[in-house]
Structure 1
């Protein structure tokens, strides 16, 4: 039976690839809905990006708009990496879909309450929507199987020396989620920077079918920022949160107690892990630390090939 999931995202180049990866494996992952939150760009732009992406692959998945700003303060966007649209690169046609009228919290609540199986949440964005859900309706924790999130990093950050973007944008929300008691798997920078696609692989994508070409164009733009920051290749951050659900054996991990710093002048947004031999609290997070990059890339290429073939068959049918 496919695992029922809700993807909470802010597309975002790597968010888009994470959605594609999940959709390619509908036999394993049942995407009950997608929620959007202000992050890589403002809410309206990233919601439009989500709908355009789904329209491009003919995926009629309900999408609900969520929080436009963090719990406290103003939104910090990732425009430097993701561009003015939040997903610069390919020119996707206008969407034939529209978001549902419900807001993200009510949308998630209804899915979770009505589901016979427990739901897995997959946030690849600031954790504002998830924190609002858990704060307003704490009883839903009993019906959430786990949270597989992209965010944080034990060794370093990417917005500051200590804070990764998704956590930095809304550290108060992240702290609520990490301290919720729900089992968490954290795909942080420790692993996602190792899941990098190199230039030759991006070029290979652009020689394949329509979905692969579109992803290659996404990565052409996304890799520009990575090169400026001194990286070789383009880290596929958000797809790790999906790939772990599909093939956890690709990853190495350590179970740790993790929380989020919200007050430190130099450390606000830092994911703090207790790695002592005798920590004060039991582990609440499985922190991914390593990945078989070659197997990860094979999973990505094979998944995009599935979607290429589906889209081509659909075009032939019309």
Structure 2
């Protein structure tokens, strides 16, 4: 079973990703690391612990990570995720404030060293924690088997969700993304242009009726679905982060190609843009696998079936 660390900025789709990762029974989840992103780090930690309590798996520990991006001011997405980050759907669940003393980047280094060549990092938030870990221990590039990243936008210019050409996770800390992209790690990029094909519609949510997660999925997604209806005319929520879990479990659901991808950190218009050199104009060796397409209906069904069996 693949050993993984899941790095989150727990908003709604992060919550679904945590549920999917644990309920799939196909990943050995060593721990969850939290990072500032969709919501501030205090919310991230509280939301993560609430989700673990909802699942009934509080044995998995959450580790507090970066509360700020490396250089820029923090950005949050309450308009998509609601005022608490998970659509106020778990107000009835209380969690304590107890946390590990281990800083998330240090936990990543510790586990990578312990499981050299046999650990995968799944990153579904800004890449600040991993960048900090790499700055402290560059040998991570040798120790980690693969890093699967939800981030970026490579084939659909103008279709970003933070700037026209920028996806939120990369925009939230583009300097961190640049460090990761140039680290020598084995990277797989699951971008917005692919994740946006994986909508869990309100209609398909009804397939979960009578199951453990139905109420949470419907209630938590209300704000997200309202945003999607306004922006895309779809009553549903894209499974951005759960798809990244799906790729870590079964990469055959996506089509990938190896390319060199750079991150823009200077332009006001394009800060956080992920630029994929499809034609090798820069004459650089590929630094990652880029996801270009997904069997979207197959994946959404996989996601629903996993939650049904919980």
In the TM superposition, 1:133-144 aligns within 5 A as 133-144=133-144
Aligned length: 304
* Alpha-carbon spacing, 1:257–1:215, altered in 2? closer, same or farther (3 Å): same
Larger mean CA deviation between 241-250 and 145-154 belongs to 241-250
Conserved in 2, the CA contact under 8 Å of 1:178 and 1:284? yes
Deviating runs (4+, > 6 A) in structure 1?
Answer: none
Pair 1:235-2:238 in alignment: yes
1:14 pairs with 2:16? no
Partner of 2:69: 70
Deviation at 1:94, TM superposition (A): 0.9
Q: Is the 8 A contact 2:6 2:29 kept in 1?
A: yes
Query: What's the secondary structure of 2:67's corresponding residue?
Result: coil
Structure 2 residue corresponding to 1:53, chosen from 41, 44, 51: 51
Shift of 1:168: 0.4
Q: Which residue of 2 aligns with 1:296?
A: 299
Q: 1:19 to 1:183 in 2, by over 3 A?
A: same
Distance 2:221 2:207 in 1: 12
Query: Structure 1: how far apart are the matches of 2:290 and 2:115?
Result: 28
TM-score (norm 1): 0.91
Is 2:227 the partner of 1:225? yes
Unaligned runs of 5+ in 1: 308-318
C-alpha distance in 2, partners of 1:188/1:40? 17
Q: Give me the whole-angstrom Cα distance separating, in 1, the residues matched to 2:167 and 2:20.
A: 23
Q: Counterparts in 2 of 1:169-318, with a 5 A limit?
A: 169-205=172-208, 207-232=209-234, 233-276=236-279, 279-307=282-310
Does the Cα contact within 8 Å between 2:151 and 2:191 map onto a contact in 1? yes
Note the C-alpha offset of 1:142. Answer: 1.1
Contact 1:51 1:97 in 2 (8 A): no
Pick which of 158-167 and 208-217 moved more: 208-217
Q: CA-to-partner distance for each residue in 1:243-264, whole Å, 9 max, x for gaps?
A: 0112211111222111100001
Tell me which residue corresponds to 2:128.
Answer: 128
Shift of 1:117: 4.7
Does the residue aligned with 1:148 lie in a helix, a strand or coil? strand
Secondary structure class of the residue paired with 1:138: coil
From the superposition, tell whether residues 289 and 89 of structure 1 become closer, same or farther in structure 2 (CA, over 3 Å): farther
Call closer, same or farther: CA 1:273–1:116 in 2, change over 3 Å.
closer
Provide the alpha-carbon RMSD of the alignment: 1.5
Distance (Å, rounded) in 1 between the aligned partners of 2:280 and 2:181: 21
- Residue 276 of structure 1 aligns to a residue whose secondary structure is coil
Give the drift of 1:234. 1.6
Deviations 1:222-270 (A, max 9, x none): 2111112124232110111110112211111222111100001211100
Whether the 8 Å contact between 1:55 and 1:96 is mirrored in structure 2 is: no
Residue number in structure 2 paired with 1:35: 33
Tell me the residue number matched to 1:312. none
Report the TM-score when normalising by structure 2: 0.94
